[in-house]
Amino acid sequence: MTTGTRSRRVLAIIAAVGVAVTLAGCSSSSDGAADGTVTLRFAWWGSDELNSIKAEQIALFEKKYPNIKVEGEPSEYNGYYDKLATQVAGGGAPDAIQITYDALPQYVSKNAIHDLSDDIDQSKFTPGSLDSGIIDGKLYAIPTGVGSRGIIVNPAVFAAAGVEIPDDTTWTWDDYIDIAAKISANSPDGTYGSAQITNDQSLMAFARQAGEDLYTADGENGVSEDTATSFFAFSKELQTSGGSPDASTAAEDAGASLEQSLMGQGRIGMTFAPINFVSIYAQSSGQDLQILNVPGDSGGKAGLVLQPTVQYAVYSKSAHPKEAAQLIDFLLNSPEAGPLNKLTLGIPAVPEVLDTISDDLSATEQAQVDFIARLSEAGGTPQNPIALPTSQLGPIITKLWDDVSFEKTTPEKAGADYVDQVDVALQAANG
């Protein structure tokens, strides 16, 4: 996305809701104007579609609560946490923030997040959906929706390559490589069987299928050197076979927006991604998509887990925490604004909201609901608590994979280095 395009999009959002995008480091919110008006800042990241939805929701909120004005601060994910960390350190973070469940504990430990226990009606949420936002018995964040990862599949790419969609109850990771390589070989240049699979969530699937997890129950590294090595070896074989793009193309694709990614352009057969991305990919590519379970999930070794897609929280130094809590609750759970999200932020965690939109779901959207129901029925061992946020673990995996991808090191060396580097990061995080 060009700078000009991004600027025009932000200006359009500002015009739609009558807000001014504020700069990092500004005060959290005003103490209230002389006429009693309260001004809140709300920061999030997301796609063009998500930004448009939030613009409409904020307008509805301001209409219902004319004494509260909302200054939206939309951004892209890259750089979001760097900016937030700077704002928190300076005492000027937005009143309401979007946050991932893995980053929440870090900000709670900094006393940067407001306790929502007395501000949110917890009884209306699906049992268990609030668990990732509860720390030491206090509710610090509410989920935008329930989600998971999965293999998003473009049947049109499969059909054009003459490859059948696999049975996802029996396939293996070796099958995945073979299928991806066949699609690439039978497709035009620039179309690939699979996107690169090299992030913490895919490593977690590998680990859980090996009877491990990213972390142990007591917060230590839970991934063995053998599992980390097999993970990097798989990704390298996928690339070497031609099933996924070459190193340079994959790096460029990893930095693209969802709409501009290879999957968003209809040039990828499979990708491991959050299942709520499927609607964005389908809309931008103009093609119907499906969701498959990850390879290897059999015999009770479930690699996937249910997680909040993202969460909303309130900054602890907000001058108006009650109003900020009212805002995030309205955006997700009110009959006016909640249904507008549809499934872009996950399967609604409040049954009443899901019921409202059920009859209007497209086939692609219904597939998300069905997939979550399928995972819920399959069960599996719950995920151990996150000890390092993705913002810390992700760069470790990315750097090691880059070295493997560009053949600066081997999967075996990367596996050993992963264990060493995660151990060091955990020691630093624990003081």
CATH number, domain at 295?
Answer: 3.40.190.10
Burial class (CB within 10 angstroms; exposed 0-12, middle 13-18, buried 19+) of 344: buried
Q: According to the model, what pLDDT value does residue 189 have?
A: 96
Burial class (CB within 10 angstroms; exposed 0-12, middle 13-18, buried 19+) of 98: buried
DSSP string, 174-226: HHHHHHHHHHHHTS-TT-EEE----SHHHHHHHHHHTT--SB-TTSSB---HH
User: Distance between CA 87 and CA 109 in Å, rounded?
Assistant: 16
Q: Does 275 share its domain with 157?
A: yes
Domain ranges, residue 137: 3-145+308-367
In the block, tokens 């060091």 appear at 424
Q: Does 155 share its domain with 284?
A: yes
Runs of H (alpha helix) within 186-344: 200-209, 225-240, 247-254, 277-285, 321-333
Residue-averaged pLDDT of the chain: 89
Per-residue pLDDT tens digits for 111-146: 999 999 999 999 999 877 888 899 888 999 999 998
95 found inside a domain: yes
Q: Does 156 share its domain with 291?
A: yes
In the block, tokens 């409409």 appear at 56
Per cent of the chain over pLDDT 70 is 90
Taking 80 as the threshold, does the pLDDT of residue 153 lie above it?
A: yes
Q: According to the model, what pLDDT value does residue 31 have?
A: 52
Q: Does 314 share its domain with 292?
A: no
Contact 397, 204 (CB under 8 A): no
372 found inside a domain: no
283 found inside a domain: yes
CA dihedral sign, ordered 126, 132, 136, 138: negative
Q: Does 14 share its domain with 163?
A: no
Determine the 3-state secondary structure of 364 from DSSP: helix
User: Distance between CA 12 and CA 7 in Å, rounded?
Assistant: 9
Per cent of the chain over pLDDT 90 is 69
Taking 60 as the threshold, does the pLDDT of residue 86 lie above it?
A: yes
Q: According to the model, what pLDDT value does residue 25 have?
A: 36
Q: Which long-range contacts (CB under 8 A, 24 or more apart) does 46-53 make?
A: 46/74, 46/98, 47/257, 47/258, 47/259, 47/280, 47/344, 48/9, 48/259, 49/279, 49/280, 49/283, 49/344, 50/344, 50/345, 51/9, 51/13, 52/13, 52/16, 53/340, 53/341, 53/344
381 found inside a domain: no
The CB density around residue 310, as the number of other CB atoms within 10 Å, is 22
Contact 269, 180 (CB under 8 A): yes
Per-residue pLDDT tens digits for 20-49: 333 333 444 445 555 689 999 999 998 888
Contact 140, 134 (CB under 8 A): yes
Taking 50 as the threshold, does the pLDDT of residue 282 lie above it?
A: yes
CB contact set of 10 (below 8 Å; sequence gap of 6+): 21, 74
Per-residue pLDDT tens digits for 224-267: 999 999 999 999 999 999 999 999 999 999 889 999 999 999 99
Q: Which tops the pLDDT comparison, 306 or 1?
A: 306
Give the chain's end-to-end CA distance (angstroms, integer).
40
Q: How many domains are contained in the chain?
A: 2
Q: According to the model, what pLDDT value does residue 34 have?
A: 58
User: Distance between CA 214 and CA 203 in Å, rounded?
Assistant: 8
Closest CA to 195 of 263, 280, 99: 263
Strand ordering across the sheet containing 268-274 = 192-194, 268-274, 149-153, 290-292
Question: How confident is residue 14, by pLDDT bands cut at 50, 70 and 90?
Answer: very low
In angstroms, how far is CA 124 from the centroid of its own chain?
24
Q: According to the model, what pLDDT value does residue 26 have?
A: 43
Q: Does 339 share its domain with 226?
A: no
Q: According to the model, what pLDDT value does residue 299 have?
A: 53
* pTM (2 d.p.): 0.73
Q: Does 178 share its domain with 140?
A: no
Report the residue count for the chain. Answer: 431
Question: How confident is residue 17, by pLDDT bands cut at 50, 70 and 90?
Answer: very low
Q: According to the model, what pLDDT value does residue 186 have?
A: 98
Which residues on adjacent β-strands are paired with residue 271?
Answer: 152
Q: According to the model, what pLDDT value does residue 430 have?
A: 80
Q: Does 265 share its domain with 179?
A: yes
Per-residue pLDDT tens digits for 170-228: 999 999 999 999 999 999 999 999 999 999 999 999 999 999 999 998 889 999 999 99
Q: Which tops the pLDDT comparison, 274 or 69?
A: 69
User: Distance between CA 227 and CA 220 in Å, rounded?
Assistant: 16
Per-residue pLDDT tens digits for 402-415: 999 999 999 999 99
Q: According to the model, what pLDDT value does residue 298 have?
A: 63
Q: Does 409 share its domain with 264?
A: yes
92 found inside a domain: yes
375 found inside a domain: no
Q: Does 119 share its domain with 227?
A: no
Per-residue pLDDT tens digits for 349-376: 999 999 999 999 988 888 889 998 888 7
Q: Does 321 share its domain with 395?
A: no
Q: According to the model, what pLDDT value does residue 5 have?
A: 38
239 found inside a domain: yes
CB contact set of 85 (below 8 Å; sequence gap of 6+): none
Return the DSSP state at 31: S
374 found inside a domain: no
Q: Does 154 share its domain with 43?
A: no
User: Distance between CA 322 and CA 197 in Å, rounded?
Assistant: 41
